[in-house]
Structure 1
Amino acid sequence: ELKAVIEALKIIPENKKIELHSDSSYVLNGLSSWVEAWKKNGWKTSSKNAVANQDLWQELDELSSKFELSYQKVKGHSGDQYNEEVDSLAKKEAEKI
């Protein structure tokens, strides 16, 4: 899920206003609050452990700084048209690996 957001931001022209819809609390909480705390703590969690996927979070943090981002949590597997479409695409791509 982190990689999907990273790859999407790479193809969007900078300085755009973006509303990110996701069913991932991990991604949304990370972007909206955790990243700032991790940076202040030298990329350590509140329990002093290394941040999981630090390389991806750092890349996402750098990319997201180039946009005006807002966030919208959607419930997964609840009939949201776009969420269902993205899930389907992700499954198809995963099968190729």
Structure 2
Amino acid sequence: MRVIVFTDGSSRGNPGPGGYGAVLRYTDAAGTLHERELSAGYAHTTNNRMELMSVIAALECLRRPCEVEVHSDSQYVVNAFNKHWVSGWQRRDWKNAKKEPVKNPDLWKRLLKAMEPHDVSFVWVRGHAGAELNERCDHLAVKAATAPKATLLTDEGFTD
């Protein structure tokens, strides 16, 4: 099964309230297009954490191994895989090239685990450039980030 995923994260302040949005699409053997939208908001987080959560949420909702093409406007996420930053971080025990701790290691590890059963590729898309599904994800992420405070989740792994 081939799934196309668009993702986006948002933070109202960085850090501040944040949210993510994801749209998953696949076409079944009969030619029927299926689409699913995901989003959630968090009380205190960062944009990069929400960019990561959008991909994690999309991959974690898949019920069987898939070929997944992730479209994201986050160079942070896309370059981490396409430029092999993640493999370097793992070799250096989650330190970057400057030997400093990598930010968001909890989410990077969770993302790697979510990727395990799938064949995942990453495609960078320019944000706010009219790509329909990227714009939809942005809308979902902003709506989640600006939801009433009482409905926002706690980002357990976030530290200032």
Q: How many residues are paired up?
A: 97
Displacement of 1:22 in angstroms is: 0.6
Matched, 1:47 2:98: yes
Greater share of strand residues, 1 or 2?
Answer: 2
Q: Which runs of 4+ in 1 moved over 2 A?
A: none
1:77 corresponds in structure 2 to 128
| Higher RCO (CA-CA < 8 Å; seq separation 6+) | 1
1:24 corresponds in structure 2 to 74
Displacement of 1:12 in angstroms is: 1.0
Structure 1, 28-37 or 52-61: larger mean CA deviation: 28-37
Q: For residues 32-83 of structure 1, what are the alpha-carbon distances to aligned partners after superposition, in whole Å with 9 as ceiling and x for unaligned?
A: 3111110000110000000000100011011112210112111100000000
Mark the runs of 5 or more structure 2 residues left unpaired by the alignment.
1-50, 153-160
Matched, 1:94 2:149: no
Separation in 1, partners of 2:61, 2:78: 20
Separation in 1, partners of 2:113, 2:91: 15
Matched, 1:37 2:88: yes
Separation in 2, partners of 1:13, 1:71: 20
User: Helix, strand or coil: the match of 1:76?
Assistant: coil
Mark the runs of 5 or more structure 1 residues left unpaired by the alignment.
none
Separation in 2, partners of 1:88, 1:43: 32
User: CA contact under 8 A between 1:35 and 1:61: conserved in structure 2?
Assistant: no
The AA in structure 1 aligned to 2:86 is V
Under a length normalisation based on structure 2, what TM-score does the superposition of the two structures give? 0.58
Tell me the percent identity. 39
Give me the CA root mean square deviation. 1.0
User: Helix, strand or coil: the match of 1:9?
Assistant: helix
Structure 1, 59-68 or 81-90: larger mean CA deviation: 59-68
Greater share of helix residues, 1 or 2?
Answer: 1
Indicate how the Cα distance of structure 1 residues 14 and 34 shifts in structure 2: closer, same or farther if over 3 A, else same. farther
Under a length normalisation based on structure 1, what TM-score does the superposition of the two structures give? 0.94
Matched, 1:12 2:24: no
